[in-house]
């Protein structure tokens, strides 16, 4: 389990983000606003790229709960990044059904292509990669996803991975 | 070819929109239920249908609904379990992607039956595209008067929301899901109390799988008795099977329960056989948690009868020679696959996903992962197989939630049926790190056993 990384970088939430928070909170009964925690953490990560301790403190303040209640949730679930990642985090499914159709060779290829180990960030800050567990697309493996919209790529080959990395690099440099 | 109840219109262009869905008879079940039936009558139809929960446990849905406590003045909730994280299972994602209104329609009918005024669909967070699809479908249904205040002019009102998870297999377990929906870590609760008495926010709650809720639509349209005519014995109706692994045509199929497994596996209408002209070595029939079977035991029961895709036939022989329907996550392994490696991969998965509350599960899954890792990488010992079985037995039945069992069964069954392959990893570890054991006798016809039970 990851530990919460501290940073002094102050965080401000835009009014647009705050209004999205309010929309989420309105889905639950009076006094049950803590239910909004997971959706709000997704919104924060989509906006900032990861969830820092100051961001979590602000979420706690917004939901009127203790900061520890946010930390313990953010560190329990695998989708929240508790340290900065590449702009594009390639998450490759490594579970059984994908493994038997070639998940490991795809991860090896990505590692060689990007030149960084699992969980590290490329020097240009663009890419990270990691293995994740079954993504409910087992018939179409190997698969990978990229947040924050969790765009999905199926039946990966070394060539399709190369093309994807080139496309994303071009997109980021435009 | 079986009748399709859920996927009949899946290939109609635009079926993901309200208008096209409606033009194909969509939302008729809402009209019928709200305008002509009482909530209890809806529950009665579901009982008559014999529908069993499609999330894995196979508990009769109508019965589950009738257990819901109804204290005066207390909210009741329906929560749809769209966490779909069981390795091998990808049917709910498929259904939500292509025909989202079927789930929305089912949610409205089921919520009406249970008297829920607010319902949630808990979708695993990675399915952000499906979350967007569902949110759009909900907005459409609301705009057309099928959700919100006084649906279709009746006095029934319902709000429906989509809730994303945070990435944790354990949140598929219903009480962990409820904890997560309350904004907490996904630690399963000790039962009792069951959610039917104290679930979401301590209120009576029903948690149902996506496919179970979708199946309510044809049940209400055609009547529970009609639904029960499909299938075989206590396995009524149709079932979505997500088929993956080394298959020619992997994908999601709607089958009549009772279809022979041989037909499902080899006919071109379904999986089309094993990819690349290879032979079948093993099958995991219902998601990674159910016992793995070698090809011969999967195709035929120990008594030599052809196996059927039904709850009863798949579990024929118990854990000695049978398996389970589970979630319908069907994984086929060809002759080139290594059972030791696959078992290690699954053990790693369960160790990673254990919530850590119970020591047998937290520690036991870690031990199994370690021992299987050393077997796969050529450092195993002959005593490791007994050690693994021993650890799996110590986990099984000794935990708060069934994840412990789900982690134990795949390991125990792999050693039960493929022990020679595990032993080969020890006796010939040099070969085991460079090549695979192959199909061995796992596909040979079973010797006829007289008077087996
Ligand atoms: C570890 C674990 C994971 C589970 N994952 C799921 C899941 O992803 N989807 C699901 O519908 N049920 C899952 N279940 C089963 C649920 O606890 C519950 O039985 C089910 O949602 C009830 O719905 P049903 O009666 O319609 O099948 C899981 C159970 C366990 C123990
Ligand atoms: S069995 Fe495992 S996953 Fe389930 S509650 Fe115990 S530790 Fe958590
Ligand atoms: S195993 Fe990779 S998506 Fe299920």
Q: What is the pLDDT of residues B352-364, one digit of tens each?
A: 999 999 999 999 9
Instruction: Report yes or no: A79 at the B interface, CB cutoff 8 Å.
Output: yes
The pLDDT tens digits of the residues spanning B5-40 come to: 999 999 999 999 999 999 999 999 999 999 999 999
Report how far apart, in Å, the C-alpha atoms of B330 and of each of A163, B15, B288, B290, B317 are: 31, 27, 9, 10, 19
- Domain co-membership, B219 together with B255: no
Report the alpha-carbon distance of residue B309 to residue B263 in Å, rounded: 10
The pLDDT tens digits of the residues spanning B373-383 come to: 999 999 999 99
Report the alpha-carbon distance of residue A15 to residue B8 in Å, rounded: 45
The conformation of residue B450, written as its DSSP 8-state character, comes to T
Nearest chain B residue to A144, by CA: B126
Q: Which of B126, B337, B352 sits opposite A150 (nearest CB)?
A: B126
Question: Which of B73, B383, B366, B75 has its CA nearest to residue B205?
Answer: B75
Q: With beta carbons under 8 A apart, name residues in chain B contacting A132.
A: 126, 167
Report the alpha-carbon distance of residue B23 to residue A36 in Å, rounded: 36
A27 belongs to a structural domain: yes
In whole numbers, what is the pLDDT of chain A averaged over residues? 95
User: The domain spanning residue A45 has which CATH number?
Assistant: 1.10.10
Predicted local distance difference test score (pLDDT) of residue A174: 82
- Domain co-membership, A106 together with A71: no
Instruction: Report yes or no: A154 at the B interface, CB cutoff 8 Å.
Output: no
- Domain co-membership, B95 together with B214: yes
| Whole-angstrom Cα Rg for chain B | 22
Q: Given pLDDT bands bounded at 50, 70 and 90, which one contains residue B2? A: low
The string of DSSP codes covering B188-219 is: PPPSSSPTTTS-GGGS-EEEEEHHHHHHHHHH
For residue B60, how many C-alpha atoms fall within 13 Å in the half-sphere facing its CB? 17
Nearest chain A residue to B163, by CA: A39
User: The domain spanning residue B323 has which CATH number?
Assistant: 3.10.20.600
Q: With beta carbons under 8 A apart, name residues in chain A contacting B178.
A: none
User: The domain spanning residue A110 has which CATH number?
Assistant: 3.40.30.10
B287 torsion bin: left (phi>0), alpha (psi -120 to 50), beta (else): left
Secondary structure of chain A in the HEC alphabet? CCCCCCCCCCCCCCHHHHHHHHHHHCCCCCCCHHHHHHHHHHHHHHHHCCCCHHHHHHHHHHHCCCHHHHHHHHHHCCCCCCCCCCCEEEEEECCHHHHCCCHHHHHHHHHHHHCCCCCCCCCCCCEEEEEECCCCCHHHCCCEEECCCCEEECCCCHHHHHHHHHHHHHHHCC
User: The domain spanning residue B416 has which CATH number?
Assistant: 1.20.1440.230
Provide the percentage of residues in chain B whose pLDDT is more than 70: 98
Report the alpha-carbon distance of residue B347 to residue A162 in Å, rounded: 31
Predicted local distance difference test score (pLDDT) of residue A68: 98
Task: Give ligand 3 pocket residues (Cβ under 6 A).
Answer: A 93, 95-98, 134-138, 141, 143; B 87
Predicted local distance difference test score (pLDDT) of residue A1: 42
- Domain co-membership, B323 together with B354: no
Whole-number Å distance, alpha carbon B53 to ligand 1 midpoint, is 9
Q: With beta carbons under 8 A apart, name residues in chain A contacting B186.
A: 76-77
Question: Which of B144, B162, B113 has its CA nearest to residue B18?
Answer: B144
- Mean pLDDT to the nearest integer, B300-306: 93
Domain tally for chain B? 3
- Domain co-membership, A167 together with A94: yes
B295 pLDDT above the threshold of 80 = yes
- Mean pLDDT to the nearest integer, B251-277: 97
- Domain co-membership, A43 together with A102: no
B166 belongs to a structural domain: yes
- Domain co-membership, B101 together with B217: yes
**Ligand 2: which of B289, B355, B360 to mutate, judged by most atoms within 8 Å of the beta carbon?**
B355
B439 belongs to a structural domain: no
- Domain co-membership, A153 together with A104: yes
Task: Using the atom order of ligand 2, give the atom closest to the CA of residue B356.
Answer: 7
CA distance to partner chain A, nearest, from residue B412 (Å)? 17
Q: Which H/E stretch holds residue B21?
A: helix B18-23
Answer yes or no: do A148 and B184 touch at CB < 8 A: no
A81 belongs to a structural domain: no
User: Among A92-101, B24-33, B77-86, B439-448, where is mean pLDDT lowest?
Assistant: B439-448
CB of B59 within 8 A of CB of B52? yes
Report the alpha-carbon distance of residue A173 to residue A149 in Å, rounded: 20
**Total length of chain B:** 453
Predicted local distance difference test score (pLDDT) of residue B445: 83
Domain tally for chain A? 2
Report the alpha-carbon distance of residue B226 to residue B219 in Å, rounded: 8
Q: Tokens 């290594």 label which residue? A: B338
Q: Given pLDDT bands bounded at 50, 70 and 90, which one contains residue A146? A: very high
Residue that is last in its domain, among B334, B352, B385? B334
| Domain region containing A125 | 88-172
- Domain co-membership, A49 together with A93: no
Task: Give ligand 1 pocket residues (Cβ under 6 A).
Answer: B 53-57, 59, 61, 64, 81, 83-86, 170, 172-174, 207-209, 212, 401-403, 406
> What residues are paired with B205 via a beta bridge?
B77
- Domain co-membership, B181 together with B245: no
Q: Given pLDDT bands bounded at 50, 70 and 90, which one contains residue B75? A: very high
Residue that is last in its domain, among A24, A43, A76? A76
Question: Coil, helix or strand for B413?
Answer: helix
Predicted local distance difference test score (pLDDT) of residue B150: 98
- Mean pLDDT to the nearest integer, B286-311: 96
**Total length of chain A:** 174
A6 belongs to a structural domain: no
Report the alpha-carbon distance of residue B299 to residue B215 in Å, rounded: 28
The pLDDT tens digits of the residues spanning B180-215 come to: 999 999 999 999 999 999 999 999 999 999 999 999
Predicted local distance difference test score (pLDDT) of residue B135: 98
- Mean pLDDT to the nearest integer, B275-298: 97
CA distance to partner chain B, nearest, from residue A4 (Å)? 15
B128-143 vs B100-114: helix crossing angle, rounded to 10: 60
Answer yes or no: do A136 and B85 touch at CB < 8 A: yes
B450 pLDDT above the threshold of 70 = no
CB of B397 within 8 A of CB of B340? no
A5 belongs to a structural domain: no
Q: Which of A78, A132, A137 sits opposite B90 (nearest CB)?
A: A137
B426 pLDDT above the threshold of 50 = yes
Question: Coil, helix or strand for B441?
Answer: coil
B366 pLDDT above the threshold of 70 = yes
The pairs formed by A147-151 with CB atoms below 8 angstroms and a separation of 24 or more are A147/A45, A147/A46, A147/A79, A147/A89, A147/A91, A147/B128, A148/A42, A148/A45, A148/A46, A148/B128, A149/B128, A149/B129, A150/B126, A150/B127, A150/B128, A150/B129, A151/B129
Provide the percentage of residues in chain A whose pLDDT is more than 70: 95
Report the alpha-carbon distance of residue B273 to residue B299 in Å, rounded: 13
A83 belongs to a structural domain: no
The pLDDT tens digits of the residues spanning A114-144 come to: 999 999 999 999 999 999 999 999 999 999 9
| Domain region containing B103 | 18-229
Residue that is last in its domain, among B229, B261, B286? B229
Residue that is last in its domain, among A53, A76, A99? A76
Question: Which of B350, B381, B345 has its CA nearest to residue B363?
Answer: B350
A9 belongs to a structural domain: no
CB of A83 within 8 A of CB of A2? yes
User: The domain spanning residue B96 has which CATH number?
Assistant: 3.40.50.11540
Burial state string for A120-138 with b = 16 or more CB within 10 A and e = fewer than 16 = bbbeeebbbbbbbbbbbbb
Q: With beta carbons under 8 A apart, name residues in chain A contacting B352.
A: 133
Predicted local distance difference test score (pLDDT) of residue B453: 46
A24 pLDDT above the threshold of 80 = yes
A71 belongs to a structural domain: yes
What are the residues whose beta carbons fall under 8 Å from the beta carbon of B180, sequence distance 6 or more? A38, B122, B165, B166, B168, B171, B186
B1 pLDDT above the threshold of 60 = no
Whole-number Å distance, alpha carbon B221 to ligand 3 midpoint, is 34
ipTM (interface pTM): 0.96
Task: Give ligand 2 pocket residues (Cβ under 6 A).
Answer: B 170, 188, 354-358, 361-362, 399-401, 403-404
A101 belongs to a structural domain: yes
| Whole-angstrom Cα Rg for chain A | 18
In whole numbers, what is the pLDDT of chain B averaged over residues? 96
Report how far apart, in Å, the C-alpha atoms of B34 and of each of B73, B140, B383 are: 22, 19, 63
B3 belongs to a structural domain: no
Predicted local distance difference test score (pLDDT) of residue A10: 81
């Amino acid at each position: 389990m990851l530990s919460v990384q501290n940073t002094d970088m102050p965080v401000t939430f835009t009014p647009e983000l705050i209004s999205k928070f309010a929309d989420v909170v309105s889905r639950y009964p009076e006094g049950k606003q803590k239910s909004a925690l997971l959706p709000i953490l997704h919104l924060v990560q989509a906006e900032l790229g990861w969830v820092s301790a100051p961001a979590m403190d602000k979420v706690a303040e917004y939901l009127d709960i203790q900061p520890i209640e946010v930390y313990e949730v953010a560190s329990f679930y695998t989708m929240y990044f508790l340290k900065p990642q590449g702009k594009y985090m390639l998450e490759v499914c490594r579970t059984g059904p994908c493994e038997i159709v070639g998940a490991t060779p795809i991860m090896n290829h990505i590692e060689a292509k990007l030149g960084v180990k699992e969980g590290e960030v490329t020097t240009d800050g663009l890419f990270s990669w990691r293995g994740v567990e079954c993504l409910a697309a087992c018939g179409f493996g190997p698969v990978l996803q990229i947040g924050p919209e969790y765009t999905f790529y199926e039946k990966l080959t070394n060539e399709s991975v190369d093309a994807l990395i080139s496309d994303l690099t071009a997109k980021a440099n435009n | 070819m079986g009748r399709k109840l859920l996927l009949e219109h899946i290939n109609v262009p635009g079926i993901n929109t309200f208008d096209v869905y409606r033009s194909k008879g969509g939302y008729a079940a809402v009209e019928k239920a709200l305008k002509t039936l009482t909530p209890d009558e809806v529950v009665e139809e579901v009982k008559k249908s014999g529908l069993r929960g499609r999330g894995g446990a196979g508990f009769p849905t109508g019965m589950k609904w009738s257990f819901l406590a109804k204290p005066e003045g207390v909210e009741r909730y329906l929560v749809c379990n769209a966490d779909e994280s069981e390795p091998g299972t990808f049917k709910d994602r498929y259904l939500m992607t292509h025909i989202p209104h079927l789930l929305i329609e089912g949610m409205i009918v089921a919520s009406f039956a249970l008297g829920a005024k607010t319902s949630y669909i808990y979708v695993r967070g990675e399915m952000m595209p499906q979350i967007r699809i569902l949110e759009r479908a909900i907005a459409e249904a609301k705009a057309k008067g099928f959700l919100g205040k006084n649906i279709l002019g009746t006095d029934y009102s319902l709000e429906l929301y989509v809730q994303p998870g945070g990435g944790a297999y354990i949140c598929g377990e219903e009480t962990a899901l409820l904890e997560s929906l309350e904004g907490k870590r996904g630690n399963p609760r000790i039962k009792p109390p069951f959610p039917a008495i104290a679930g979401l926010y301590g209120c009576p709650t029903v948690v149902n799988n996506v496919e179970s809720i979708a199946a309510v639509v044809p049940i209400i349209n055609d009547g529970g008795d009609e639904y029960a005519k499909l299938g075989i014995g206590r396995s009524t109706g149709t079932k979505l099977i997500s088929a993956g692994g080394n298959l020619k045509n992997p994908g999601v199929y709607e089958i009549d329960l009772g279809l022979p497994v041989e037909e499902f596996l080899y006919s071109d209408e379904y999986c089309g056989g094993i990819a690349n002209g290879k032979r079948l070595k093993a099958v995991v029939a219902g998601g990674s948690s159910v016992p793995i079977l070698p090809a011969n035991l999967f195709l035929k029961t120990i008594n030599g009868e052809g196996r059927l895709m039904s709850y009863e036939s798949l579990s024929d022989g118990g854990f000695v020679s049978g398996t389970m329907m589970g979630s319908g996550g069907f994984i086929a392994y060809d002759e080139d696959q290594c059972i030791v490696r696959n078992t290690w991969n699954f053990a790693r998965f369960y160790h990673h996903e254990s919530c850590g509350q119970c020591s047998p599960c937290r520690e036991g899954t870690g031990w199994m992962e370690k021992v299987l890792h050393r077997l796969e990488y050529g450092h195993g010992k002959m005593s490791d197989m007994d050690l693994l079985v021993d650890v799996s037995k110590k986990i099984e039945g000794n935990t708060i939630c069934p994840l412990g069992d789900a982690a134990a069964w795949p390991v125990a069954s792999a050693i039960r049926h493929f022990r020679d392959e595990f032993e080969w990893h020890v006796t010939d570890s040099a070969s085991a790190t460079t090549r695979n054991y192959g199909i061995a006798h796992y596909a040979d016809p079973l010797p006829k056993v007289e008077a087996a039970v």
